[in-house]
């Protein structure tokens, strides 16, 4: 580059100072420091003001009073809560060229995840052993969201009129596919089965036993030949999950409005109850009395798909906000959206902010005001608090920044080029970084 004589202006001085700061940043302890937030990390029993230092995509330090000059980039998050990236264990992400939930009824993960603080989504049985490789290649491998999957016990997953073909419920093939992709596949799904037999549940459980993985069940049509009570007290193993906890078909409340005792027995056995809100599976008239009697969920999940996303469900934070406004404390709401689901899917490296864990982080604001929350029958619960995702960090990089809290004001930057640094920032498009002078 040709050396030119330049007149030093305040802008140049600022740029020079910026250059020195950047130069000094090499070899620093952290790429990104989230400073001053209230950290909620249920696994580690932390609910207090802490700074979170991130280096090379991992949590490097969590402590009070970490010096800002130890980081390449420091962000003031003192008005917010800092939590592990949210984990949504019930989603439908096999969007593309197939039919039903292997096509137009599913959504793309990155379209919905980061804007609601979610860094891990688990597809819940959209694919089975026949089409999982296609799902992996077309969706999972290209997503910035961490996408995991429950494999449908039906080989073709949720294609067409799904999940009724008992001859396609192949235990060995399902277990083999799961075992050969055990970094992605977390268990098996039995869903929407209409018939009178237990075969769908039983085959999913057999595959789960064979692959040493949990099973998640949508019970389909509730029939007297296979009572729900038997599902949760006899058929499911400890660690298996029933999703759609507040579905109207679940025999939950007796005539006097009391939660039926078998549900507590099932929970004592170790059966997990998950929200799975969806387009048809969440009623306040069940959830509110059940919560008051101690029958809240073990995990909060959305059942995200094209008909739940614009209906009562909306997104992960909206579902979590419902529980907040039903009286669940914030720390517990975070536990049920981070550490509990991580344990349920046996990915205990996720859902926490331990040193060395993947730096998947949500920075959340609790907005106060007058809000309304709707259930799947269209009834409203009024509330005064709502969770909003200010910042989402995935593998150490900012992937969502609602109000630009990581950015500088444009009118103080002169003739600016691409901002940020690829060591902490994934929100400025790559082509902006090669803008011609």
Residues that bind Zn ion (CB under 5 A): 124, 303
Tell me the closest approach of the beta carbon of residue 92 to Zn ion, in angstroms: 6
Smallest distance from Zn ion to CB 276, Å: 6
CB nearer to Zn ion: give 124 or 286. Answer: 124
Q: Are 92 and 105 in contact (CB under 8 A)?
A: yes
Least distance (Å) between residue 330 CB and Zn ion: 27
Cβ proximity of 169 and 203 under 8 Å: yes
> Which one, 129 or 219, has the nearer CB to Zn ion?
219
Q: Rounded to the nearest whole angstrom, what is the least distance from the CB of residue 141 to Zn ion in the complex?
A: 22
Element containing residue 14 per DSSP (H, E): helix 10-25
What is the rounded CA–CA span in Å between residue 191 and residue 47? 37
Q: Closer to Zn ion at the Cβ: 306 or 366?
A: 306
Residue 394 CA to residue 114 CA, distance in Å, equals: 8
CA-to-CA distance for 215 and 224, rounded, in angstroms?
22
Helical ranges in 166-272 per DSSP H: 171-180, 199-211, 228-230, 261-269
d(CA 342, CA 86): 10
62 strand-pairing partners = 52
Q: How far is the CB of 12 from Zn ion (least distance, A)?
A: 58
Structure tokens at 199: 């075969």
For Zn ion, give the closer residue by CB, 300 or 393. Answer: 300
d(CA 182, CA 190): 19
Sheet holding 58-63, edge to edge: 58-63, 51-55, 30-35, 71-76
Which residues make Cβ contacts (< 8 Å) with residue 155, sequence separation at least 6? 128, 129, 130, 131, 168, 169, 170, 173, 174
Closest separation between CB of residue 207 and Zn ion, Å?
Answer: 18
Minimum Å gap between C-beta 343 and Zn ion is: 21
Residue number with CB closer to Zn ion (232 or 247): 247
Identify which of residues 303 and 401 has a Cβ nearer to Zn ion in the complex: 303
Give residue number: closest CB to Zn ion.
303
| 277 closest CA partner among 251, 252, 247 | 247
The least CB distance from residue 125 to Zn ion, in Å, is 7
Q: Which is nearer to Zn ion, 274 or 390 (CB)?
A: 274
Alpha-carbon Rg for the chain, nearest whole angstrom, is: 24
3-state secondary structure of 352: coil
282 neighbors 327 (Cβ within 8 angstroms): no
Alpha-carbon gap, residue 191 to 187, rounded angstroms: 13
Which residue's CB is nearer to Zn ion, number 303 or number 315? 303
């Amino acid at each position: 580059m040709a050396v030119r004589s330049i007149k030093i202006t305040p802008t140049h001085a600022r740029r020079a100072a910026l250059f020195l700061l950047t130069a000094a940043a090499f070899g620093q302890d952290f790429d990104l420091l989230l400073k001053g937030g209230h950290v909620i990390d249920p696994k580690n029993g932390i609910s207090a003001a802490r700074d979170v230092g991130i280096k090379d995509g991992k949590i490097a330090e969590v402590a009070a009073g970490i010096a800002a000059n130890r980081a390449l980039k420091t962000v003031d998050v003192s008005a917010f809560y800092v939590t592990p990236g949210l984990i949504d264990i019930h989603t439908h992400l096999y969007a593309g060229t197939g039919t039903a939930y292997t096509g137009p009824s599913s959504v793309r993960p990155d379209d919905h995840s980061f804007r609601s603080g979610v860094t891990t989504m688990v597809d819940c049985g959209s694919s089975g052993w026949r089409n999982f490789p296609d799902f992996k290649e077309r969706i999972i491998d290209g997503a910035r969201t961490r996408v995991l999957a429950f494999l449908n016990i039906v080989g073709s997953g949720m294609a067409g009129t799904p999940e009724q073909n008992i001859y396609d419920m192949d235990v060995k093939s399902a277990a083999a596919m799961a075992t050969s992709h055990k970094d992605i596949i977390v268990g098996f799904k039995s869903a929407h089965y209409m018939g009178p037999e237990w075969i769908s549940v039983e085959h999913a459980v057999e595959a789960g036993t064979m692959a040493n993985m949990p099973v998640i069940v949508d019970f389909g049509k509730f029939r007297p030949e296979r009572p729900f009570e038997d599902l949760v007290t006899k058929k499911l193993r400890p660690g298996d999950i029933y999703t759609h906890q507040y579905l109207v078909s679940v025999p939950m409340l007796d005539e006097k409005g009391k939660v039926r005792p078998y549900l507590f027995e099932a929970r004592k056995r170790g059966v997990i109850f998950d929200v799975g809100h969806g387009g048809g599976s969440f009623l306040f008239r069940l959830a509110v009395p059940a919560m008051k009697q101690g029958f809240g969920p073990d995990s909060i999940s959305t059942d995200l798909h094209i008909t739940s996303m614009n209906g009562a469900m909306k997104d992960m934070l909206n579902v979590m906000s419902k529980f907040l406004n039903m009286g669940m404390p914030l720390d517990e709401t975070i536990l049920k959206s981070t550490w509990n689901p991580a344990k349920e899917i046996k990915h205990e490296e996720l859902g926490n902010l331990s040193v060395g864990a993947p730096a998947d982080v949500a920075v959340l604001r609790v907005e106060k005001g007058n809000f309304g929350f709707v259930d799947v029958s269209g009834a409203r619960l009024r509330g005064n608090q709502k969770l909003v995702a200010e910042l989402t960090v995935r593998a150490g990089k900012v992937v969502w920044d609602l109000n630009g809290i990581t950015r500088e004001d444009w009118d103080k930057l002169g003739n600016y080029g691409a901002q940020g640094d690829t060591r902490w920032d994934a929100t400025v498009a790559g082509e902006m970084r090669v803008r011609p002078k």
